[in-house]
Amino acid sequence: MTDFKFEESLAVRDYELDVQGVVNNAVYQNYFEHARHQFLKKIGLNFVDLHQRGFDAVVHKIEIQYKRPLLANDEFVVKVAVEQQGAVRFIFHQQIERKSDKAITTIAKVTAVFMTGGRPIRPPKEVTDAVIAWQGSM
């Protein structure tokens, strides 16, 4: 079972609902991305700052399971775990848990790589070091 050591607390905003009265499917990617970037900040990394220094973290693949919809007024946490896979990939495991009943509503597995000038690279040392330090922490 995944040991999520980071979570970001969010709430549904009405403009995120679609005509079915549920959070639109694409918006969950916003939630997942925002939680990943908050996680990066937590371990000392900054997505926009990395971009400005020429290192672009990009999503290579995403799988999302929609188990239950989020509705107006729902509060939830987005949980994040990460592991390095091989030399160049990071796998993020993410779950959305509704606060009212602890139900897991949405599950994502995200494969990310680093690019510079449009080509995949080994992640910058500061990134690898930060991930390893975080994994070893409590």
Interface residues with a copy of itself (CB under 8 A) are 13-15, 17-22, 24-27, 29-30, 33-34, 37, 46-48, 51, 56, 58-66, 69, 72-73
**Smallest separation, CB 138 to a copy of itself (Å):** 26
Residues facing 10 on adjacent strands? 76
**Smallest separation, CB 136 to a copy of itself (Å):** 27
**Smallest separation, CB 13 to a copy of itself (Å):** 5
- Active site (catalytic) residues: 18
Contact 8, 80 (CB under 8 A): yes
CA distance 135 to 115: 23
- Closer to a copy of itself at the Cβ: 59 or 135? 59
C-alpha separations of 93 from 2, 9, 110, 120 in Å: 8, 16, 7, 21
